[in-house]
Amino acid sequence: MWAMHRRRCLFRSLLCLLHRANALSAASAPGAIFHLGHVPLGLVMTSEFESENVFVDEMLTTAKRISRDGYGILATDESIPTAGKRLASIGVDNTYNNRRAFRELLYTTEDLGRHISGVIMFDETLYQRSAGGVRFVNVLRDQGILTGIKVDTGLQNLAGTNGETATQGLDGLGERCKAYRAEGASFAKWRAVLKIGSGMPSDRAISENAHALARYASICQEHGLVPIVEPEVTLSPGDYSIERAAYEGERVLSHVMRVLNQHDVIPEAMILKVSMALPGLDAVFGDSCKEEVAKYTVRTMKRCVPPAVAGIHFLSGGMGAEEATQNLQALQRECPHAPWTLSFSFGRALQDAVLKEWGGKEQNVQAAQQLLLQLARVNSEAQRGVWDEEHPTPGGGRLSLPKLSYSSERRRSADLFNW
């Protein structure tokens, strides 16, 4: 299987070189005209196109600011039903005021801006205010934190697939981007979900979601919002290996980056949000997990993501809070001189313990905020590769089973691709 995989990689590399050679040859011909769909990677983005976008300089600054070392993103863009499930876990009703109160707890945490560069909001939250009447966007701005907005409208089943999904929300997106920018948003997020399973992710699901992500990113940049592109290869049931997870991640990411290029998305003015390479939920994986996760995750990024991309922010889905921090630090140690910032965009890993500490009670707000600040700090330190203390919420990681046993052949196959 892995010998076949190596042959496919070599074939793709040779094919790419051939396409480039043909394109360069054609470019030298008098009156040569290119069609966007046939231009190879690296020849599409032109300074002439970028100069037409009046927001380019602002978006470049925003993307760099969000992705600078030592900072990450706090994801608080849960939909109203999802927020309700979180509140129900602590016995609190899913009301507008309760959702607003928890958001205020998060956003008014003193010194949060020392570790968090951006916060992703849901539509409802963008228009909310603190108890003192200050808009949340301004509360964050006073700490130097930029506001982002989730702009997709959720998932729908994709016809002709085995339960796979496509993300909705392109209708009216341009007008919504204008409105969000007017309200103070600097960036946006769109999430696609791809499952690993028998015959999944399918070519149809990859193609459908890649094109939606690219169209979204193009519309955002047209209206001055930095797009966070999130093709999440979600942690799925099954005992598939970490090699399989990395391989499927490559399939998805390579196609997404190609289609982004075809849609003239400016890579320096976008941020990528992705999953780490993790084995299936039923896989046996243990003591050396963080090193394996880092090795395969970094390999996937190096193979698929152009160095021009402003930053790669990893989500924490499927991992405990401590596990996510450990894996984040392992990424820095695996690739200390990465061409992009490798950082975090965590939701549950930053919020779950804080939510429990709060419990819906006003007297617990200060303690909950202190916990959030500690969690933000340790992940900031992990992002810089210098975290060396006990985690504020130890335990709870999924990957704590006996060490996975690799065959010598799989070891050799993996070693061939070490960077």
Q: Where are the domains of the chain?
A: 1-24+36-43, 47-403
Q: What is the pLDDT of residues 226-276, one digit of tens each?
A: 999 999 999 888 999 999 999 999 999 999 999 999 999 999 999 999 999
pLDDT for the residue 48:
60
- The whole-angstrom separation of Cα 38 and Cα 315 is 33
Active-site pick, 150, 189, 195, 273 = 273
pLDDT of residue 332: 96
For residues 180 and 282, give the distance between their C-alpha atoms in angstroms, rounded to a whole number: 41
| Structure confidence at residue 394 (pLDDT) | 76
* pLDDT at residue number 283: 86
Whether 64 is a known active-site residue: answer: no
The one catalytic residue among 230, 248, 323, 381: 230
Q: Give me the residues of the chain with pLDDT under 70, please.
A: 1-51, 286-288, 395-419
Please tell me the distance from the alpha carbon of residue 170 to that of residue 27, in angstroms, as a whole number. Answer: 35
Q: Please give the pLDDT value at position 289.
A: 87
- First vs last Cα of the chain: how many Å apart? 21
Residue 63 to residues 30, 118, 142, 184, 308, Cα–Cα distance (Å): 39, 10, 19, 15, 11
Is 253 in a helix, a strand, or coil? helix
pLDDT score of 287: 52
| Catalytic residue flag (residue 230) | yes
Domain 47-403, CATH class in plain words:
alpha beta
DSSP secondary structure string, 155-211? Answer: EEEPTTSSS-EEEE--TTHHHHHHHHHHTT--EEEEEEEE--BTTBS-HHHHHHHHH
Cα–Cα distance, 60 to 76 (Å, whole number): 24
CB 244 within 8 A of CB 406: no
